[in-house]
Each structure stands twice: as C-alpha cells, then as structure tokens.
C-alpha cells in the first residue's frame, strides 16, 4: 500500500531506497536486540528472559 505513494513522491529509485533502508534498519535491530536461541530449549530461553528482566518493569 505504501509503494504507490512512495513512487509518486520519490520516484522508482527513491521508493526502493526507502524499502532498502527500512530492511537494513530491521536487520540491524534483529542482530543487536534479539538474542540467539539456536540450540536452546524453550525452558532455557524462558529462564534467560526471567534472569534478564527479573524485577524490572
């Protein structure tokens, strides 16, 4: 839904550049903010978050 608006406002290159920037930003967020859970059980992941956020609200 946003593509036609971006296309009209910024042109084809600007629209794709906007989506590329959003994608790169999302990737950086995932790499920095989301912990790796490969090889961990659900219980281990749950315990990790309990330790990380215990007493914080």
For the record, the structure tokens of 41 come out as 């059980």
Q: What CA–CA distance (Å, rounded) separates 5 from 31?
A: 30
Contact 6, 14 (CB under 8 A): yes
Per-residue confidence (pLDDT) for residue 56, from 0 to 100: 62
Question: What is the pTM assigned to this prediction?
Answer: 0.69
> What residues does each domain of the chain span?
2-53
Q: Is the dihedral of CA 10, 12, 16, 19 positive or negative?
A: positive
In this structure, which long-range contacts are made by residues 41-45, counting pairs with CB atoms below 8 Å and at least 24 apart in sequence?
none
Asked if residue 15 lies in contact with residue 6, where contact means CB atoms within 8 angstroms, the answer is: yes
Q: Does residue 6 register a pLDDT over 90?
A: yes
What pLDDT is stored for residue 54 in this prediction? 84
């Amino acid at each position: 839904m946003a593509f036609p608006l971006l296309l009209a406002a910024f042109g084809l290159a600007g629209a794709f550049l906007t989506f590329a920037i959003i994608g790169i930003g999302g990737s950086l967020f995932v790499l920095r903010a989301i912990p790796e859970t490969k090889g961990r059980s659900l219980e281990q992941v749950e315990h990790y978050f309990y330790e990380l956020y215990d007493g914080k609200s």
